[in-house]
Amino acid sequence: MIDGVAVVTAIYGLSAATAVPLGYVIWRHRAKTAALPLLGSIVGGGVWSLTLFLAAVTPDAGLTMLIERVHYVGVCLAVASVFLFTLLYTGREHLVTRRTVGLLAVEPLAVLALAFANPGNAFFASVTAEPSAVIGLDIEYGVAFQVHLIYSYAFVLAATALVLEMLYRSRALYRGQVAALLGGVLSPTVGNLVSLFGLVSFNATPLGFVLTNLLFTVAITRYRLIDLAPIARDRVLDTVEDAVYVIDRDGRIVDVNLAAEDLTELTRGVADIVGHDVDDFLAERPKWHELYRETIETGEERSTEFSVDGHHYEIDATRIDDGRGHHVGWLFLVSDVTDRVRRERELRRRNEQLDRFANIVSHDLRNPLTVANGYVDLARETGDEACLDEVDTTLDRMEAIIDDVLALAREGEAVTDPSSVDLRSAAEAAWGNVDTGESTLRIADDAAVSADRDRLVRLFENLFRNAVEHGSTNGRSETDDAVEYGTAGRDGAGRSANSGMTVHVGTVEENGDTSGFYVADNGPGIPPGDRDRVFDSGYTTAEDGTGFGLSIVEQIADAHGWEAGVTDSETGGARFELRDVAVRSDGLADSAPAVDD
């Protein structure tokens, strides 16, 4: 038959023994926030259990009673330390002052004085020998003990409430840690209540301390209780403007800050992503997913930039190692660098503009001015007024150059207040402003872009004018489901548009994402060797062209933060693409017959 007293005594010894290595680990990290109060609670629980163990194995009643009095050193230390630790852990360190500690020390000192002096049997009402009891004594407690009991439970309940509140509002990364702490606080409390209500014939509090020590060990080894301070972390990260994502080695998002929640809601429409698998979360963002996979596969910290919805972001990936140097996850810091990119782009634009203006003054305007002066001299010498017509033509060309140069200066200013602009409406408006002759506009997609509407219309005007003026008179015929718009007329310069040209407008799809829009035609296209120069100021293949139309297109694109490029259309013509554009697609337009304006 198992000796119940021996089992209980063994539990007391086990509880005291487990406190030693746990206390040593915490002592090594004593410089950490709240480590010393945590150590105090472990030492208090250890003394509590050790005194009960010694009382159980001591045969002398007098020595047992002395040990019982010393027992309250551990009781008072454990209660006060748990409360102080809870204040620090839950971010109420402003309450932990010398005055607070001094006030908390009053009750333990009074209890120890009453326990040792026991005036008028105020603490121990009576003590009688009881061989069947674990410690060999039957103790009846007095009024002072009852007051101490109420006082202690008041602080334990306050600490429990603080931990529960912390558990409710803590993030996923810390919930296991906080839950372990809650269990550690409640376990000895439950054991003590069981004894007080007479459900068992021995002091079961040390049994609770065994569980407490086990839970604290789990909290330290698995949840990094000593290394991580949730409140300090929250106060730092939640005030950081950059988005912070913490991902564990299993590819789960375990923590984010408020800025990350806002960014996620902006880009994905949801804010609560903690606990999600990264691969699933990034499935709709192939570029981000590729960066993530490269980072974790190579194990290298890296930094890169990307654009989304008209904003520019810089992302830094950093390894997270625990206090033992073990890799436990990754920290991704996402910074909004839109303002910086815009400033850099504006600085480059102004420098390029200065170079462009110097080139225009020295070459593009000087040449026609020299021609005009020559015709003026010839008119004076010969009296031939026809020379003045040539002068007039030359001056018209100079005026066109000046107008285009002014347009370049205006369109290059950064767009700071874009609005949602219907792509179809802007394209139709631009088509009506350009002499397109018998050419046809076909709009393949309905979409809205974030842009300055007036500048977007001018961008379309320049692209449409480039298409109809440089396209073939025998445009390739084609059929699709887009809506067609026809127009007839002549532009302000009196140039007739080519017939048979078809111009397409639609959205650019890349890896399942709508990343921009395009303007394509079925003309002769642009030779690959010339594509790097088409956006240069002054570059033209037309005798009467200024060479600024596509340069203005690029300026407008830069002002929005877009990237302009040119490639082949499906029919071999030119296709101009504007990428890094914030586009919201509403679906394909219904097919309809061509409409004459």
Q: What is the pLDDT of residues 481-496, one digit of tens each?
A: 444 444 433 343 333 4
Q: What six digits make up the tokens of 455?
A: 């500048």
Q: What is the pLDDT of residue 2?
A: 45
Q: What is the pLDDT of residues 100-111, one digit of tens each?
A: 999 999 999 999
Q: What is the pLDDT of residue 23?
A: 87
Q: What is the pLDDT of residue 221?
A: 57
Largest CA distance in the chain: 143
Mean pLDDT (10-residue bins), the chain, 597 residues = 74 90 85 81 91 92 93 92 85 84 93 94 92 89 94 91 76 65 84 84 82 73 54 57 81 79 72 76 76 78 74 82 67 85 79 69 67 84 83 79 66 77 93 85 91 89 86 46 42 42 90 88 86 75 65 85 90 91 62 36
* Listed residue (559, 579, 577, 560) closest to 568, CA to CA: 577
What is the chain's Cα-based Rg? 40
The DSSP output letter for 597 is -
Sheet with 502-510, side-by-side order of all strands: 563-568, 574-579, 513-521, 502-510, 440-443, 483-486, 592-596
Q: How far apart are CA 580 and CA 516, in angstroms?
A: 6
Q: Which residue segments constitute the domains of the chain, with CATH numbers given?
A: 4-228 (1.20.1070), 238-336 (3.30.450.20), 338-414 (1.10.287), 416-596 (3.30.565.10)
Q: For 592, phi and psi rounded to 5 degrees? A: -155, 155
Q: How far apart are CA 305 and CA 316, in angstroms?
A: 9
The C-alpha angle with vertex 161 and arms to 160 and 162, in degrees rounded to 5, equals 90
In the beta sheet, which residues pair with residue 334?
Answer: 243, 315
pTM equals 0.48
Contact at 8 Å (CB) between 412 and 555? yes
Q: What six digits make up the tokens of 50?
A: 């050790």
Q: What is the pLDDT of residues 218-255, one digit of tens each?
A: 666 565 555 545 544 555 566 677 888 888 777 888 77
Inter-CA distances, 555 with 406, 462, 559, Å: 12, 12, 6
* Cα torsion angle, 109, 112, 113, 119, sign: positive
